[in-house]
Amino acid sequence: MRKYFTEGKDGMLCIFIHNQLLCGFPLGKNKLKDYERDANDMIVSGMRDNKNIKFQIYVYSHYINEMYRKKKENKFNDYEDYKLLVACVLALVKLKILQFDTVVSIFPKKKKRKITSLSLNK
């Protein structure tokens, strides 16, 4: 299976749980706002289905812990599982259960250096 650590044209959004990197998503076509919108939509749809906030927090936390456990056992999941993981983490950030700075890091795209030729003869 494929590991999901891809870099977009604007950089990468990385998710850390228990100080371990779980996944990285590209920033480019999808911005941080798009990932946050998915998390917000998940919270709102849960509220519409009469799921209270405590239950949603439990479900999101349980899913994150299961993904962490699978990562430790070197079992890799598909793209949709990682996308749901990002939404769960950002939903818990939105609900102020997790702090953004401790679980999410945004890395800008590494700029390529231009190699210039130096004249050795003076």
In the chain, % of residues over pLDDT 90: 42
Q: Do the domain assignments include residue 77?
A: yes
> What is the spatial distance between Cα 14 and Cα 100, in angstroms, rounded to a whole number?
11
Q: Do the domain assignments include residue 18?
A: yes
Residue 3 pLDDT > 80 = no
The residue-averaged pLDDT of 64-88 equals 88
Q: Do the domain assignments include residue 122?
A: no
Tokens read off for 70: 């699978």
> What is the spatial distance between Cα 68 and Cα 16, in angstroms, rounded to a whole number?
10
| Direct distance between the N- and C-terminal alpha carbons of the chain, in angstroms, rounded to an integer | 55
Q: Do the domain assignments include residue 58?
A: yes
More confident residue, 117 or 90: 90
**What tens digit of pLDDT does each residue of 13-36 get?**
889 988 888 888 888 888 889 889
> What is the spatial distance between Cα 99 and Cα 66, in angstroms, rounded to a whole number?
20
**What tens digit of pLDDT does each residue of 110-119 get?**
766 666 655 5
Number of structural domains (the chain) is: 1
Q: Do the domain assignments include residue 1?
A: no
- C-alpha distances in Å from residue 97, one per residue of 29, 54, 118: 28, 11, 54
Q: Do the domain assignments include residue 117?
A: no
Domain containing 65 equals 11-108
Amino acid at 37: R
Give the chain's mean pLDDT.
84
Q: Do the domain assignments include residue 2?
A: no
Q: Do the domain assignments include residue 84?
A: yes
